[in-house]
Amino acid sequence: MPEEKALNGTKQNTEPASPLSGLAPMTKNQVMDIAMDLGKILLKSGAETSRVEDTMMRFCRSYGYYDLNVFCTPTVIILGDESPRGKSRVFRVRWRATDLGLIMDINELSYNFRRWKLDYAGAKRWLQGRLALSHPYGNTAVCLASGFGSACFAMLLGSASIYNFVAAFLTGFIAMALLKMVNSFHPTPFWENFLAGLSIGIVAQTCCLLYPYCTLENITVGALMPFLPGLAFTNGVRDYMAGDLLSGNSRIAEAGLFALSIAIGLAFALKVWDWGGLP
Amino acid sequence: MMHYLMAFAFAFFATVAFGVLFQGPKRILWRSGLIGGLGWIIFIGLKEGFSVHSFSANFLATVVIALASELFARIWKEPTTVFEVPAIIPLVPGLGMYKGMNYILQDYVSYGSEVLLGAAVDSCAIALGIMMVSGVLRALKTGNDMARQRQQDLLGTAVPPDLYVTDPEEEK
């Protein structure tokens, strides 16, 4: 391996430094590389900012590089070197998705790095292998889950009946399927949520028109639930508590904006329905 | 009793569906489902059985959810968020938001804003619950870590020499 040749005879190899005992040697550049990868994956799969910063810092410090510092907001990661002639790295995050499994596995890696004895190439390979397995549920499963979740919520809100269950299932399923269809055009989050609200309003009212035993309120609220920004809200609050005020503010603002755009879409559907003179 | 059992079952399945929506692996789905069902049962039990105000009911249910997910996180060595995020979702006051918006659309602005404000207060209760539990447990867990980091922040790069590693590439 080329890295081993470069490291022969350096201070790191000859000195039995106690904190590095279980670790394969890595240069500072390589450590920054892996730390940046961990941060990117975590932030892109929807982890809180404090978790991203904590994981990256713990990784850098476990190699003894105490002069690397991380600054992270929901849209950018900056890994800076405090030492003179140090280089820094910046990564701009534009698209974020949610993948709890990836967060769990990266967390496991960052706690077990010492035990698994991964070197640079091994860590890269592990990360690539894990990334290939990300997003285990396909579009069909996600749409079905959205429909099922909506249906269960509609039953939770009182006046439980099988009609509400079926109608809410249809509404949630159709809204999520529509989002997955327009996903390839990369709409901005505002238009995505607007479309979700619009389709929920139209489908729910159609269900109520076709079958008068359905409750419009329950169906709509149940179908709205998968699109409410619960993750952004929870993460924002946790960021506040961890002291990352900037990320907390922006996450809460994101949650508010998303909720507002769903409400605008839904209101648009209801108003248009009214103007059309339909019941 | 039947009512609560059904509520538990529906909250369980809703939470599991949300776990799938958030791409959670299969081994955590039923665990977060258990927490979500528990939180919802406590919420409606307090609200309907003991007629507690919805702020307090939301707050207590969130505290129970957060504590249970911290416990599960300790047991199965997973991050807390993974259990907490799907389990919190049933408590989100979607009905209040929808009702308030609908009243405002129909020109009952004052009543609509009252309902919307109630929903906002409920979500504040949820936020408060998460904040309190995560703040207390963070203080307990990372107290030592934080102290070390604070010392480092004060000292800058002046770390103990046996911990400091020079970059082999830089020495060349």
- The ipTM is 0.81
**Number of alpha carbons in the 13 Å side-chain half-sphere of residue A44:** 16
**pLDDT at A82 exceeding the cut of 90:** no
Mean pLDDT in residue range A195-216: 88
Tokens representing B125 are: 């209760």
Residue A63 structure tokens: 């190699």
CB contacts of B130 in chain A (<8 Å) are 234, 237-238, 241
Q: CA–CA separation, A138 vs A143, rounded Å?
A: 9
Residue A67 CA to residue A80 CA, distance in Å, equals 8
Taking only the tens place, the pLDDT of each residue in B37-62 is 999 999 999 988 888 888 999 999 99
Q: What is the count of structural domains for chain B?
A: 1
A90 pLDDT above the threshold of 90: yes
* Structure token digits, residue A11: 């201070």
Expressed as residue numbers, the domain containing B44 is 2-145
Q: Can you say how many angstroms the Cα of residue A109 is from the centroid of all Cα atoms in its chain?
A: 18
- Return the domain boundaries, chain A: 2-132, 139-275
**B158 lies in some domain:** no
Confidence category of residue A177, pLDDT binned at 50, 70, 90: very high
| pLDDT value for B165 | 55
Cβ of A11 and B166 within 8 Å? yes
CA–CA dist A16, A1 (Å, integer): 22
Query: What average pLDDT does the segment B143-168 reach?
Result: 55
Going by pLDDT thresholds of 50, 70 and 90, the confidence category of residue A12 is very low
The answer to whether position B172 is within a domain reads no
Flag whether pLDDT at B171 surpasses 70.
no
- Quick check: is B167 in a domain? no
pLDDT at site A6: 47
CB–CB of A42/A59 below 8 Å? no
How many residues make up chain B in this entry? 172
B65: pLDDT strictly greater than 90: yes
Q: Identify whether the C-beta of residue A153 lies closer than 8 Å to the C-beta of residue A225.
A: yes
Q: Read off the pLDDT of each residue in A107-135 and give the average, rounded to a whole number.
A: 84
Range in A119-128, A154-163, A187-196, B133-142 with the lowest mean pLDDT: B133-142
pLDDT for A187 beyond 80 = yes
> How many angstroms from the chain centroid is the CA of residue A229?
11
Q: Is the pLDDT of residue B78 over 70?
A: yes
Q: Among B23, B115, B122, which would you mutate to test the A interface (most chain A Cβ atoms within 10 Å of its Cβ)?
A: B23
Q: Residue B155's pLDDT band (boundaries 50, 70, 90)? A: low
pLDDT at B151 over 80: no
With respect to residue B160, please indicate whether it lies within any of the assigned structural domains: no
Give the residue from A199, A186, A189 showing the smallest Cα distance to A150. A199
Question: Looking at CA atoms only, how far is residue B162 from chain A in angstroms?
Answer: 7
Taking contacts as CB-CB distances below 8 angstroms, the residues of chain A near B24 are 100-101
